[in-house]
Amino acid sequence: MISLPQSKPASPPQSGGRAAFFVLLGSIGVQSSSAISASMFDALGSPAVSSLRLVFAAVVLLAFLRPTVRGHSRSAWSAIAFYGIVMAAMNLLLYKAIEYLPLGVAVTLDFLGPAVVALVFSRRIREAAWALLALGGVILIAGPGGHFNMLGFAFGIGAGLCFAFYTLLAEKVGKADDSSVSSLALSVAIAALASLPFGLPKVTEVSGPQWGLLALSGVIGVAIPYFVDTLAARISSARVVGTLFAIDPAMGTLIGWLALGEQLGWLPLLGIACVALAGAGVTWFAAKPPGPLERVPTTEPTRYPD
């Protein structure tokens, strides 16, 4: 079983920079795998593709992390199970949204969940401003009067709601104990089991090349991104990681253009710049102690419980 070594807490710049790198790496994997998976939607349907890639991801993580099923408290098991169920729902809903919407627009709607998390848990006016800038960039990426589809938007917003819970649970599971990162494999296994009814009926229809694509999608789009997301939440917080997930709409729009031929206008390009600036800003300033004029007025503590 892999566990993180004991060490002194990283300094604020190191911690923020590492979290940003992990989230960027995960974003590239998730959006690239979405483009790969979309090529199989017509043949297998998005629910089956989502389900079968989760199975591959679970097998890889269980073999690599080798988690123990003993020693977890009831509350820890509840978090692990809920994390897995949220993963399954988020994947299924996002892929349904991609059936009806361009990749960049679907991912934009998905991002609304962690963006709200970043706003809710902001403790300083400056952090809230970065999150609002990211939201503004997301709106520009989606573009006015473009690709509206009622079903697509419903699935995308549903995925965003699951993404919000995913952001919070990544921190809760990631900071549970020294071996908590390996528990991610248990959550992904639960996600695979929860979505298996969608994938099992299609197993006999999957061709050899499609099995290869499903395996690739599961590794680069689930196993690696979820692992690094959990690491990012472990060394940072749900607020910071939630705003860093603003990379996803920009990455989805870019990969949609490169891999799927989805055209970009100047408004989406401006949105990408806003999102990138917001992600850099929150990483640079999040760990600095707030001054007396920077605190968000509140009557309740806003720190997310570790």
3-state SS, one letter per residue, for 101-136:
CCHHHHHHHHHHHHHHHHHHCCCEHHHHHHHHHHHH
295: phi then psi, degrees, rounded to nearest 5: -70, 140
Whether the Cβ atoms of residue 44 and residue 205 lie closer than 8 Å to each other: yes
- Whether 29 maps to a domain, the answer reads yes
Tell me the pLDDT tens digit for each residue of 138-173.
778 776 655 667 898 899 999 999 988 887 887 666
Predicted confidence (pLDDT) at residue 284 exceeds the cutoff of 50:
yes
Distance CA 249, CA 105 (A): 7
- Can you tell me the distance from the alpha carbon of 25 to that of 19, in angstroms, rounded to the nearest whole number? 10
Amino acid code (one letter) for 164: A
Residue 299 located in a structural domain: no
Identify the CA nearest to 169 among candidates 55, 86, 53.
86
Tell whether 74 is covered by a domain: yes
What is the reported pLDDT for 68? 81
Give a yes or no: residue 2 inside a domain: no
pLDDT in tens, 200-240: 999 999 999 999 999 999 999 999 988 887 788 777 776 67
Task: Kindly state the tokens that stand for 231.
Answer: 């690491």
As a whole number of Å, the CA-based R_g of the chain is 19
- Spatial CA neighbour of 171 closest among 7, 277, 23, 70: 23
CB 85 within 8 A of CB 192: no
Find the range with the poorest average confidence among 50-59, 208-217, 288-297. 288-297
Q: What is the pLDDT of residues 70-120, one digit of tens each?
A: 777 788 888 889 989 999 999 999 999 999 888 888 888 888 787 777 777
pLDDT band at 123 (very low <50, low <70, confident <90, very high): low
Residue pointed to by tokens 């009622």: 150
pTM: 0.78
Q: Quote the pLDDT of residue 237.
A: 72
Domain presence at residue 303: no
Percent of the chain with pLDDT over 90: 34
Instruction: Tally helices (H) and strands (E) across the chain.
Output: 13, 0
In angstroms, rounded to a whole number, what is the distance separating the alpha carbons of residues 223 and 60? 7
Instruction: Sort 26 into a burial class: Cβ within 10 Å, 0-12 / 13-18 / 19+.
Output: buried
Separation of alpha carbons 186 and 271, rounded Å = 37
More confident residue, 240 or 33: 33
Output phi, psi for 123, to 5 deg: -105, -5
Residue 190 lies in a domain: yes
Number of separate domains in the chain? 1
Asked, for residue 298, whether it belongs to a domain, the answer is no
233 falls within a domain:
yes
Nearest-angstrom CA–CA distance, 32 and 18: 21
Tokens of 124: 């300083």
Domain span at residue 133 reads 12-285
